[in-house]
């Protein structure tokens, strides 16, 4: 139905000292809008917290609204077409 990955690398040099980063999430078309993405996020947040991280970061070019609905905060909003949005989830508060 879907998959998610986390890494230590980032895509935005402005935030090179932050991490870990949600580096990819995919939900197949037929599973969208059924809670699969939210379930994947909750699990990756749980595991990342268990491994000692206090926050989790991501870079998205098109799904910022989804992540905001899931409790993520915008750190740097997309300004131009080729830009992405950098977001952060405080794992201590969840």
Domain ranges (residues) in the chain: 2-93
pTM of the model: 0.84
What phi and psi values does residue 16 have, to the nearest 5 degrees? -60, -25
Cα dist from 53 to 5, 6, 74, whole Å: 15, 12, 19
pLDDT of residue 11: 65
Looking at every residue in the chain, the average pLDDT score rounds to 88
- pLDDT 10s digits, 21-66: 998 899 998 988 899 999 999 999 999 999 999 999 998 988 999 9
CATH of 2-93, one of 3.40.630.30, 3.40.50.880, 3.40.50.300, 3.30.70.270: 3.40.630.30
């Amino acid at each position: 139905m879907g998959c998610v990955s986390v890494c230590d690398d980032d895509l935005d040099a402005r935030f090179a000292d932050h991490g870990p980063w949600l580096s990819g999430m995919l939900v197949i078309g037929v599973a969208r809008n059924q809670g699969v993405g939210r379930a994947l996020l909750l699990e990756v947040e749980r595991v990342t917290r268990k491994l000692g991280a206090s926050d989790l970061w991501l870079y998205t070019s098109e799904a910022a609204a989804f992540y905001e609905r899931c409790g993520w905060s915008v750190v740097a909003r997309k300004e131009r077409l080729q830009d992405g949005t950098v977001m952060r989830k405080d794992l201590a508060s969840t």
